Copies of this chain bind each other. A is one copy, B any other.
Amino acid sequence: MFNFDFYNPTRVLFGADRIADIGQHIPEDARVLITYGGGSAKKYGTLDEVKAAIGDRVTFEFGGIEVNPHLDTLMKAVDIVRENKVDFLLAVGGGSVVDGTKFIAAAALYEGDIWPLWSQRQPLSEALPLGCVMTLPATGSETNHVAVVTNTALGQKSGYSDPLLFPKFAVLDPTKTYTLPVTQVANGVVDAFIHVIEQYLTYPVYGKVQDRFAEGLLLTLIEEGPKALTDPQNYDVRSAITWSATLALNGLIAVGVPQDWATHRIGHQLTALYGIDHAQTLAILLPGLLQVQRESKKQKLLQYAERVWNIQTGDDDARIDAAIAKTREFFELMGLKTQLSAYGQPKTAIDEILDNLERFNMLPMGERQDIDLARAKEILTLSY
């Protein structure tokens, strides 16, 4: 196991009707900006619940934060913060709203253009405090200090992290996910699943507990994910998925072990170039990546086959083949297509994606940094 630091000070408020408790965790004299995305937070009454819980604190609103939030949009919120001396941010929505609100928290107290700092991952000296009310379990952003923002002018999607961006609290109310469209639920489950895979399917370093925890999250998502599609108001199922998605990316299973993230890094190009949903890009790429990386991931793939898919028979190659096939079947069962061609892209997409990887200096990648241009091409060819 590698040496590690683990630090996560976000307070989780989990369960039905927990929005009512947020007032205890926001300063009495705070001037609050509520941020949200499309209309669903308003439509389904979540915004009203939030406002009731905030009580008579001075409150402002900023809606319209898009999926893969844009710098331009967020800077408008920064203006509101500055003009109105807002000193607490409250994100209501999914991962994009939380990520966007982390950016606002950083930019509002930064003098000058924050993009160079953000895109070059320099540390912050201060940030506004923020809390969040999650309505879509998927990204884990609600309890981590990471955020991804897109600068459309530069065509650059940039991830950033700073400990100042840990939310003070995160409300996880599984009932708030009942009204999600089925595709978003499915995407969320697959996204969380692949977050775990990125931190688990690498090479063994005697991370016994981390492995067991990762396998526990995968097994839970496999068992509960399909139930969420057919039984959308099952509180138990939604609770298990919500808590799994949070623990998939709160830092816990990442400690002391190697991490891959190549599926994500290539996947981001598919979103940037063709607007394919983030989770869909991962479902397209992961089976091919596991196929191409089967030798360097061999030991963990065999463990994954046995412990997650209960594959007990066959030689090593057969068990790995079966595990990859099971993984693909799970994504398809959740309703996600797992080949790029099924999303209507021509085969020339492969070269476009490779061009992007080169242009943004993203190669080599993977836990051993052994995915070069040739391997990326193999992965994309298998994934087409």
Binding site for B on A (CB under 8 A): 1-18, 206, 208-209, 211-213, 215-217, 219-220, 223-224, 236, 239-240, 243-244, 247, 252, 255-256
The answer to whether B216 and A14 have CB atoms under 8 Å apart is no
Interface of A is mostly: mixed
Q: How far is the CA of A256 from the CA of B239 in the complex (A)?
A: 10
Select which of B5, B217, B219 is within 8 A of A11 by beta carbon.
B5
The answer to whether B209 and A247 have CB atoms under 8 Å apart is yes
Can you identify 15 A-B contacts, CB atoms within 8 angstroms? A1-B14, A1-B236, A1-B239, A7-B10, A12-B255, A14-B255, A206-B239, A206-B240, A208-B223, A208-B224, A208-B240, A209-B216, A212-B212, A212-B216, A216-B216
The answer to whether A219 and B212 have CB atoms under 8 Å apart is yes
List the B side residues contacting A255 at CB < 8 Å. 12, 14
Ranked 10 nearest A-B pairs via Cβ: A212-B216, A3-B15, A9-B9, A206-B236, A6-B12, A7-B11, A208-B240, A208-B220, A1-B239, A4-B14
Q: How far is the CA of A358 from the CA of B144 in the complex (A)?
A: 47
Q: How far is the CA of A209 from the CA of B221 in the complex (A)?
A: 9
List the B side residues contacting A239 at CB < 8 Å. 1, 206, 256
CB distance from A240 to the nearest CB of B (A): 4
| Interface hub of A1, A209, A256 (most chain B Cβ within 10 A) | A209
List the B side residues contacting A15 at CB < 8 Å. 1-4, 256
List the B side residues contacting A215 at CB < 8 Å. 212, 216
The answer to whether A6 and B1 have CB atoms under 8 Å apart is no
CB closest chain-B residue, reference A2: B15
List the B side residues contacting A247 at CB < 8 Å. 209
Contacts A215-B216, A217-B209; is A3 near B7 (CB within 8 Å)?
Answer: no
CB distance from A336 to the nearest CB of B (A): 22
CB distance from A196 to the nearest CB of B (A): 11
CB closest chain-B residue, reference A239: B1
List the B side residues contacting A224 at CB < 8 Å. 208
Q: How far is the CA of A209 from the CA of B218 in the complex (A)?
A: 10
Q: How far is the CA of A239 from the CA of B16 in the complex (A)?
A: 38
The answer to whether B216 and A220 have CB atoms under 8 Å apart is no
List the B side residues contacting A17 at CB < 8 Å. 3
Q: A3-B17, A5-B14, A208-B223 are in contact. List 5 more A-B contacts (CB 8 A).
A: A5-B13, A6-B12, A15-B256, A209-B217, A211-B216
Contacts A215-B216, A216-B216, A236-B1; is A244 near B209 (CB within 8 Å)?
Answer: yes
| Interface hub of A5, A212, A223, A236 (most chain B Cβ within 10 A) | A212
Q: How far is the CA of A13 from the CA of B5 in the complex (A)?
A: 5
CB closest chain-B residue, reference A206: B236
CB closest chain-B residue, reference A9: B9
Select which of B3, B11, B12, B252 is within 8 A of A18 by beta carbon.
B3
CB distance from A78 to the nearest CB of B (A): 28
The answer to whether A212 and B220 have CB atoms under 8 Å apart is yes
CB closest chain-B residue, reference A13: B5
CB distance from A4 to the nearest CB of B (A): 5
List the B side residues contacting A213 at CB < 8 Å. 212-213, 216
List the B side residues contacting A14 at CB < 8 Å. 1, 3-6, 255-256
CB distance from A119 to the nearest CB of B (A): 27
CB distance from A299 to the nearest CB of B (A): 15
List the B side residues contacting A6 at CB < 8 Å. 11-12, 14
CB distance from A19 to the nearest CB of B (A): 12
